[in-house]
Amino acid sequence: DDLTSLLQGLIDAALLRYSKDTIARPDYALFSAGGRVVPSITTDTLVMRRSGAFGRYVLGKKDVEGLPPARALHPDNSVGSCWPFKGDQGQLGVLLSRRAVVGDVTIEHAPSEVAHDVSSAPRNVEVWGLVEGTENKANVAEYLATHPSSESAFPPSPDHLLLANVTYDPSLPNHVQTFPIDPEIVNLGVDVGIVIFRVQSNWGADFTCLYRVRVHGDAV
Amino acid sequence: DDLTSLLQGLIDAALLRYSKDTIARPDYALFSAGGRVVPSITTDTLVMRRSGAFGRYVLGKKDVEGLPPARALHPDNSVGSCWPFKGDQGQLGVLLSRRAVVGDVTIEHAPSEVAHDVSSAPRNVEVWGLVEGTENKANVAEYLATHPSSESAFPPSPDHLLLANVTYDPSLPNHVQTFPIDPEIVNLGVDVGIVIFRVQSNWGADFTCLYRVRVHGDAV
Amino acid sequence: DDLTSLLQGLIDAALLRYSKDTIARPDYALFSAGGRVVPSITTDTLVMRRSGAFGRYVLGKKDVEGLPPARALHPDNSVGSCWPFKGDQGQLGVLLSRRAVVGDVTIEHAPSEVAHDVSSAPRNVEVWGLVEGTENKANVAEYLATHPSSESAFPPSPDHLLLANVTYDPSLPNHVQTFPIDPEIVNLGVDVGIVIFRVQSNWGADFTCLYRVRVHGDAV
Ligand SMILES: [K+]
Ligand SMILES: [K+]
Ligand SMILES: [K+]
In single-letter form, the type of residue at position A61 comes to: K
Q: Does C4 touch chain B (CB under 8 A)?
A: no
Note the ipTM here: 0.77
pLDDT score, position A22: 82
Q: Does B20 touch chain C (CB under 8 A)?
A: yes
User: Is C151 a residue whose pLDDT tops 80?
Assistant: no
Whether residue C116 and residue B95 make contact (CB cut-off 8 A), yes or no, is no
Q: pLDDT, tens digit, for every residue of B121-178?
A: 999 999 999 999 999 999 998 888 888 765 455 655 668 999 999 999 999 989 999 9
Average pLDDT, chain C: 87
| Closest CA–CA distance from residue C193 to any residue of chain B (Å) | 31
Are the beta carbons of C103 and C186 closer than 8 angstroms? yes
| Closest CA–CA distance from residue A187 to any residue of chain B (Å) | 22
Work out the pLDDT band at C181, boundaries 50, 70, 90.
Answer: very high
Q: Of A89, A86, A164, which is closest to residue A122 (Cα–Cα)?
A: A89
Q: What is the pTM of this model?
A: 0.83
pLDDT score, position A98: 93
Distance from Cα A67 to the centre of ligand 1, integer Å: 10
pLDDT score, position B65: 81
Are the beta carbons of B107 and B168 closer than 8 angstroms? yes
Whether residue C116 and residue B33 make contact (CB cut-off 8 A), yes or no, is yes
User: Is C59 a residue whose pLDDT tops 50?
Assistant: no
Quote the Cα angle for C121-C195-C66, to 5°.
40
Q: How would you write A72-137 as a 3-class SS string?
A: HHCCCCCCCCCEEEECCCEEEEEEEEEEEEEEEEEEECCCCCCCCCCCCCECEEEEEEECCCHHHH
Q: pLDDT, tens digit, for every residue of B72-115?
A: 999 998 898 999 999 999 999 999 999 999 999 999 999 998 88
Work out the pLDDT band at C121, boundaries 50, 70, 90.
Answer: very high
Among A residues 151-180, those touching chain B with beta carbons less than 8 Å apart: none
Whether residue C95 and residue A58 make contact (CB cut-off 8 A), yes or no, is yes
Distance from Cα C33 to the centre of ligand 1, integer Å: 12
Whether residue B24 and residue C114 make contact (CB cut-off 8 A), yes or no, is yes
Q: Does C75 touch chain A (CB under 8 A)?
A: yes
Beta-carbon neighbour count of residue B219 at 10 Å? 14
Q: pLDDT, tens digit, for every residue of B30-77?
A: 999 899 999 999 999 998 765 544 444 444 455 678 899 999 999 998
Q: Does B23 touch chain A (CB under 8 A)?
A: no
B78 → closest Cβ in A15, A25, A32: A32
Work out the pLDDT band at C146, boundaries 50, 70, 90.
Answer: confident
Whether residue B58 and residue A95 make contact (CB cut-off 8 A), yes or no, is yes
pLDDT tens, residue order, chain A (220 aa): 677 777 778 788 888 887 888 888 999 999 998 999 999 999 999 986 655 444 444 444 556 788 999 999 999 988 989 999 999 999 999 999 999 999 999 999 999 988 888 999 999 999 999 999 999 999 998 888 888 765 455 655 668 999 999 999 999 989 999 999 999 999 999 999 999 999 999 999 999 999 999 999 999 8
Distance from Cα B147 to the centre of ligand 3, integer Å: 46
Distance from Cα C89 to the centre of ligand 3, integer Å: 19
Residue of C nearest to B32 (CA): C80
In single-letter form, the type of residue at position A60 comes to: G
What is the C-alpha to C-alpha distance for residues C136 and C3, in angstroms, rounded to an integer? 53
Q: Which ligand is nearest to the CA of A212?
A: 1
B55 → closest Cβ in A20, A75, A95: A95
What residues contact A151, with CB distance under 8 A and at least 6 apart?
A: A144, A158
Q: Does A27 touch chain B (CB under 8 A)?
A: yes
pLDDT score, position A55: 45
